[in-house]
Amino acid sequence: MELIAIGHKNPDTDSIISPMIISYYSDSLFGHYAVAKRAGELNNETKFILKYLTESTIKLPELLKKVNKEEVILVDTTEQTQLIEGINENNLFAVIDHHNLGGLKSSKQIYARIEPLGCTCTVLYKILKEKNLEITREVACLMASAIISDTLFLNSPTTTDEDRTILEELNKIAGLNLKDYSMKMFKAKSSLEGIETNEIIEKDYKFFEMGKSKVGIGVWETVMPSTVNEKKEEILEALKDKKQKDGLDYLFFGVVDILKKNTYLYLVGDEEINLAKEIFKGNLENNVMFAEHIVSRKKQIVPQLKETLVL
Ligand SMILES: [Mn+2]
């Protein structure tokens, strides 16, 4: 049996690091070796992390566009719309996640572990502890990085007490200066170097089916929102194109200010404006709404949109 571990498309740090950790411990966890794969290109934050932890002995995930005969350990999502082609009820082997349960089915018995925590790596840490597996410094650094990334260094409302405790536990092994390191991560994530306008929208983009509506939501988490907001006209143009090209009913794009904990929500048409006025009630200026205290797509945008769109 060929086993792979993979996360969602437009992978964030958690969707890259979780498959790496699973691969590293796969024999102990599943009795089979699992190869780590990735469902897209690395973002600048993940690149920084992997470069920073140079003496890495843990293999980088290879790009995979389609699953053929492999069995799949799926992490960080259970939404069919966020998977690469070929993952289906017949090849699902295990799921480890921290999102809502999406629409996936399985024809066989599977291992499934989904917890309402801030990061897949927090769930993975608990699994490794339960199995008494040794956590090396390298593993600790990687998992700590994923938790910092997903929880915006414990600042996102998705953060739980377990995330806090486990990040602290991990850092006893990792020995990072967390404040300094997380700022470096966020600066890397904010960098627009080598990033085209359409990538700003699509680097961290998720597609959902909400009732009868096709909804796309991209976010750009940054410590320098002005560098993105000054490209406003270009971005709105690109959003208009994407909405039409992908046949979306709604397309949202949020520039998330990690430090001030606000979101600039780009609203491309009247449909988005009306919905955003109803839900987020922020100040609107030329198609951009300032949404105070909103930083999490998972907790503060997706459920609220679903509530309105799924009747
Ligand atoms: Mn995650």
Which residues are CB-neighbours of 285 under 8 A, at least 6 positions away?
none
- Report whether 163 contacts 122 (CB < 8 A): yes
Query: Do 164 and 276 share a domain, yes or no?
Result: no
Query: Do 158 and 221 share a domain, yes or no?
Result: no
Amino acid at 178: L
Query: Do 163 and 202 share a domain, yes or no?
Result: no
- Cα of 117 to ligand 1 centre, how many Å? 9
Domain C-terminal end among 123, 158, 188: 188
- Cα of 213 to ligand 1 centre, how many Å? 24
The enclosing domain of 255 has a CATH number of 3.10.310.20
Query: Do 110 and 43 share a domain, yes or no?
Result: yes
- Cα of 218 to ligand 1 centre, how many Å? 15
- Cα of 98 to ligand 1 centre, how many Å? 7
DSSP classification of residue 209: E
pLDDT tens, N- to C-terminus, the chain (311 residues)? 899 999 999 999 999 999 999 999 999 999 999 999 999 999 999 999 999 886 667 888 999 999 999 999 999 999 999 999 999 999 999 999 999 999 899 999 999 999 999 999 999 999 999 999 999 999 999 999 999 999 999 999 999 999 999 999 999 999 999 999 999 999 999 999 889 999 999 999 999 999 999 999 999 999 999 999 999 999 999 999 999 999 999 999 999 999 999 999 999 999 999 999 999 999 999 999 999 999 999 999 999 999 999 97
Query: Do 166 and 236 share a domain, yes or no?
Result: no
Domain C-terminal end among 155, 188, 221: 188
- Cα of 224 to ligand 1 centre, how many Å? 22
Domain C-terminal end among 135, 156, 188: 188
* Neighbouring-strand partners of residue 62: 37
Measured CA to CA, the distance from residue 167 to residue 145 in angstroms comes to 9
- Report whether 153 contacts 189 (CB < 8 A): no
The whole domain housing 287 covers: 197-309
pTM: predicted TM-score of the whole model, two decimal places:
0.93
Tell me the three state secondary structure of residue 253.
strand
